[in-house]
Amino acid sequence: MIDRAPLELERFLPYRLSILTNTVSQAIAREYERRFDLSVTEWRVMAVLARYDGEGLSAREVAERTAMDKVAVSRAVARLVAAGRVTRRTHHGDKRRSVLRLTAKGWKVHDAVAPLARAQEREVLARLDAEERAWLARILDKLLMA
């Protein structure tokens, strides 16, 4: 007989974090998918490009900053470029590197979706008191430093 020890998923941290992330993300994703034909991956790419606008990131750098799959990021970037929401230009100092930036059309979508994301975050965090929110921020910072 094989001795098995199945994971108790309801207590397994990666599973619980995944469920939480999916639940929170899907709450606003339905809205921006409907309004802007934008996937979760595309939104995350746009959010990172907006956050680091002054730097001009490559698709590889976006994947690194989001811990998303490079192929998924590449597909999302291709769709965003085709939709006119992102430009892809050759880096002036390194012809092998592409630099991505939001277009005016991309910023318009970003500026409509970002408040939805912030509102969803506030709604989730409202379940915690101020001390719990501070602890959560410290714990997440500590875990993400690993």
Structural domain boundaries, residue 72:
13-144
Over residues 42-66, the mean pLDDT reads: 93
User: Predicted confidence band at 56 (pLDDT cuts at 50, 70, 90)?
Assistant: confident
In total, how many domains does the chain have? 1
Residue 90 belongs to a domain with what CATH number?
1.10.10.10
pLDDT exceeds cutoff 70 at 108? yes
For residue 1, tell me if it sits in a domain.
no
At 86-102, the pLDDT tens digits run 999 876 766 677 899 99
Find tokens 């921006």 and name the residue: 32
Say which DSSP state 92 is in. S
pLDDT one-digit tens code per residue, 35-45: 999 999 999 99
Question: Any residues with CB less than 8 A from the CB of 73 and at least 6 apart, and which?
Answer: 41, 45, 59, 62, 63, 66
Confidence (pTM) = 0.86
User: Which stretch of DSSP H or E encloses residue 87?
Assistant: strand 86-90
Contact 70, 62 (CB under 8 A): no
